[in-house]
A and B are shown apart, each in its own frame.
Chain A
Amino acid sequence: QKEVEQNSGPLSVPEGAIASLNCTYSDRGSQSFFWYRQYSGKSPELIMSIYSNGDKEDGRFTAQLNKASQYVSLLIRDSQPSDSATYLCASGAGSYQLTFGKGTKLSVIP
């Protein structure tokens, strides 16, 4: 059974701080990892993808992957109230299906 685990939160951070979101996955065959942002009542939006160990930066977002520990994280620097959303971690392996975590709700306090 492929599983992706996330802390459901809510994670509250003050505006301007760094938000750190974490995710673990069970399938060692997973090759691709994604972070989606989902605002309440909306569909998920892809914000980061990562395929190899290490860090990948895109603007205020940094994704980190450690395949040995089966661990993926997302850092959001200079958090803004508009970053308040649920963040879904997903892993891909095999048949091109993605396995999603249940999401972490982030609240950025002005």
Chain B
Amino acid sequence: GAVVSQHPSWVICKSGTSVKIECRSLDFQATTMFWYRQFPKQSLMLMATSNEGSKATYEQGVEKDKFLINHASLTLSTLTVTSAHPEDSSFYICSARVKGSSSYEQYFGPGTRLTVT
């Protein structure tokens, strides 16, 4: 149980274009989903927290107009990287909390590797 998928698993795009990454909870409903970014040999960096039906909360230093997050349902959150630049190349990982759970446990998706050329 508690499986989270991400699509695509990897993507290459040209500078200036936009890329959408989907995060789905497959066998549970997720009230809260989190988006992280991880650069090589560095730890996870929380970008934003999204709750179903409300606006995402972005961490300090993360541009909300560049990284658009939509959490339209209890099983789907999307991250759109707008006007991507090479410095946005990174490993983007989502995680989800089970709806109704009092636990802090987060279940991670497999990640999406973005390369901007």
Contacts and interface: CB of A to CB of B under 8 A. Distances in A.
Interface of A: 31-32, 34, 36, 41-46, 49, 88, 92, 95-98, 100-103
Interface in B22-36: 32, 34
B58 to A, nearest CB: 12
A96 B43 contact: no
A100 B44 contact: yes
Given A97-B46, A102-B43, 20 more contacts: A32-B105, A34-B105, A36-B108, A41-B91, A42-B110, A43-B93, A43-B108, A43-B109, A44-B93, A46-B107, A49-B103, A88-B43, A88-B44, A96-B32, A96-B49, A96-B104, A98-B104, A100-B44, A101-B43, A103-B43
Interface of B: 32, 34, 42-44, 46, 49, 91, 93, 97, 103-111
A86 B86 CA distance: 26
Contacts of B46: 97
Contacts of A103: 43
B44 A32 contact: no
A95 B93 CA distance: 19
A4 B109 CA distance: 23
Contacts of B97: 96
